Amino acid sequence: MRRFPRSAVALSIAALVAGSFTACSAATPDPKPAAEALAAALGSGDFSAVPLAGSDASAAAKSLETAYGPMGDIKRSHTVLGAAEDEESQDGVKTATATLQTTWDVDSSDTDLTYDTQAVMEFDEESEQWKLRFDPKILAPELEAGQYLDARFSEAARGQILGGNGNALVKNRPVVRVGIDKTRAESGEWEASSRNLAKLVGIDEDSFANRVEKTGAKAWVQAIVLRDDADREVTDEQIAEIPGALGQPDEMPLAPTRAFARPILGSVGQATAEIIEKSEGKIQAGDQVGLSGLQATYNESLAGTAGVTVSRYNAEHEPVAELLGTEPVAGEDLQLSLNEKLQTVAESLVSESDSASSIVAIRPSDGQVLAAASGPESNGLNTALKGRYAPGSVFKVISALAMLREGETPQSQVQCPASTEVDGKSFKNYDGYPSGAVGTIPLAEAIAESCNTVFVNAGSELGAESVASAASSLGLVAEDGTGAEAFIGSVPDASEGTELAANMIGQGVVEASPLGMATVMASIAQGSTVQPRLVLDPEPKEPAQAKTELTESEAGQLQEMMAGVVDHGTLSDLKSVPGAKIIGKSGTAEYDAERNAHAWVIAAQGDLAVAAFVEDGDGGAQTAGPLVADFLTGAGK
């Protein structure tokens, strides 16, 4: 039997009832407090504090459980609309009638089931209190003993997730639900069949066999859901060879492929017990809901509103009267900026990475995220949008902007010693740094060859606030406006000493996501501060603007220096990529004592900015550079 929790109201009504039911007065007490006590009992299921005439608390509670139990966890409220003593007594007994209003919050919309019922109370002269004549009709109109209310839901069509061209990325696609139908096999075959099917579809044999064993003799036990497309490896013939095994055709909201933007889009499946509990009756067992990613974040709008029919049923479980009936309302589509072709290209490139990896592409002219791929070694985590990593030398474009604002130019002569020291800590250039680029060199050359010491030494003169401001102007320190709960970057404005020195070359305590560094590249390519956009409709909250916007002149100087990186610097291999001129910057960020390092490259070609990241790489140009080259080549085809 379902137990109703005692509410604070129910626990505190004893004093109220005692005062209202036992008041010693020459006049008959007001029946309304007694009616309020009844309303509280209807909400809690506890009638122990409500005096009853001709019944007892346990019988009343049982009637309520019978009538309301099938409604599950759907929230309800009970309100007293009025209570007054009747003008005429019944059989010489004073009576009063209370009108109660019951409201069931049946779904997430404004639709509620509301009805009024009457409760009759009689006045006991001996105890001088009102006693309730319990009747099932108090619970619902015309309700008779043994009858009950139940809500039946019809699922709404789920909204689609659309790509930048308006085509559906996630839509209903054919699947096959594979499992064991125990009625199609002899009982002696069930265990062997379950194990053979589990082996065929690649799931745990013991677990599935145990599930099959514990279900009834007529049960259908699902093993797995397979995409029913050209890539399906398990055939209908293989399934049919196993006694009791069956493949049932169905449809599910799916992306073009299993891996396609999965950490971003998320998945849809049957509601978990936790989701059902949190929904307070709005989600039922068996409902399809978003379990992760954007499917979960935007589940309410994507799911729409289920149709609901609330009826009164008799003891034989036959509907007697319909109290409420609504049609399902289809969910709303979610419009994203993702380009299916570019996303597919990006995912194919990171698919063979042996560590967490990502490629993010942004269209600088409007900030739309065209691709955001996370490699399989990210283990389902959204490396592209939520990864937090030291950006290494790609951060030097931010440090360079801070220097430009202090009066430097790409042609300014700067000092690039082989090593330098800040507060007792030694910094040096990367192994293999060209000896010809040591000494007095132009700032543009420091970017092209990625001289560490130039930027390390500039930190103390610039100060942390200037560096943080430059990062903000390039879009790295910004509120998330993607609609996907992304992390952009973090650059503190109070660092000093060795921490600030390390920050200048993208180590220390600065952090960026691949999305954040793609945003930096997009801002430079566009010539103004770019804010990345992924969810286009419903439009997310507009993030705050950067305090100091990037100017076209500043961007032009950064573009000039980054062109040198590709022309003769660390990314000269990108010169072989066909199409328009490419600008870029490579970066390597050591993150432990063994000098393991993150590999980064940011680049732009035409109206396309890209960031490539590999968590464990040999170096930015060596590891991430080929990813960018192949991505830009694939994008241009």
Check whether 21 has a pLDDT greater than 70: no
How big is the CA angle at 118 (ends 115 and 119), to the nearest 5 degrees? 135
Mean pLDDT for the stretch of residues 515-523? 98
Containing structural domain, residue 586: 340-636
* Residue 103 within a domain: yes
Mean pLDDT taken over the chain: 91
Cα–Cα distance measured from residue 406 to residue 401, given in angstroms and rounded to the nearest whole number: 9
Dump pLDDT digits (tens) for 268-282: 888 888 888 887 767
**Which CATH number covers residue 411?**
3.40.710.10
How big is the CA angle at 55 (ends 51 and 57), to the nearest 5 degrees? 60
Partners of residue 116 on adjacent β-strands: 101
* Residue 616 within a domain: yes
Last residue of a domain, one of 121, 145, 169: 145
Dump pLDDT digits (tens) for 229-255: 988 999 999 999 999 999 999 998 888
pTM: 0.79
Number of domains in the chain: 2
Residue 551 corresponds to which amino acid? T
* Residue 229 within a domain: no
Last residue of a domain, one of 119, 145, 171: 145
Which pLDDT score, from 0 to 100, does residue 281 have?
Answer: 63
Dump pLDDT digits (tens) for 84-117: 999 887 778 999 999 999 999 988 778 899 999 9
* Residue 438 within a domain: yes
How big is the CA angle at 334 (ends 332 and 338), to the nearest 5 degrees? 160
| Four-CA torsion 612, 616, 619, 623, nearest 10 degrees | -50
* Residue 486 within a domain: yes
CA distances from 541 to 386, 484, 538 (A): 19, 11, 9
Cα–Cα distance measured from residue 532 to residue 520, given in angstroms and rounded to the nearest whole number: 10
Which pLDDT score, from 0 to 100, does residue 110 have?
Answer: 83
* Residue 270 within a domain: no
Last residue of a domain, one of 106, 122, 145: 145
Q: Which letter does DSSP use for residue 623 in this model?
A: I
Which pLDDT score, from 0 to 100, does residue 536 have?
Answer: 97
The torsion region of residue 218 among left (phi > 0), alpha (psi -120 to 50) and beta comes to alpha
What count of Cα atoms within 13 Å lies in the side-chain half-sphere of residue 447?
33
Which pLDDT score, from 0 to 100, does residue 17 have?
Answer: 43
Long-range contact set of residues 195-200: C-beta below 8 Å, sequence gap at least 24: 196/242, 196/245, 197/223, 197/239, 197/242, 197/245, 198/223, 200/234, 200/238, 200/239, 200/242
Q: Which residues make Cβ contacts (< 8 Å) with residue 164, sequence separation at least 6?
A: 336, 337, 338, 339, 368, 370, 536
Check whether 549 has a pLDDT greater than 60: yes
Which pLDDT score, from 0 to 100, does residue 7 have?
Answer: 35
* Tokens matching residue 216: 């009834």
Which pLDDT score, from 0 to 100, does residue 456 have?
Answer: 98
* End-to-end Cα distance, the chain: 65
The highest-confidence range among 3-12, 215-224, 484-493, 586-595, by mean pLDDT, is: 484-493
Which pLDDT score, from 0 to 100, does residue 477 have?
Answer: 83
Mean pLDDT for the stretch of residues 175-193? 95
Cα–Cα distance measured from residue 572 to residue 584, given in angstroms and rounded to the nearest whole number: 10
Cα–Cα distance measured from residue 393 to residue 502, given in angstroms and rounded to the nearest whole number: 10
Mean pLDDT for the stretch of residues 369-381? 92
β 319-326/307-313 pair status: antiparallel
Min mean pLDDT across 195-209, 270-284, 448-462 is at 270-284
* Residue 26 within a domain: yes
Which pLDDT score, from 0 to 100, does residue 325 have?
Answer: 94
Mean pLDDT for the stretch of residues 355-378? 96
Closest CA relative to residue 262, chosen from 175, 156, 351: 351
**Which CATH number covers residue 28?**
3.10.450
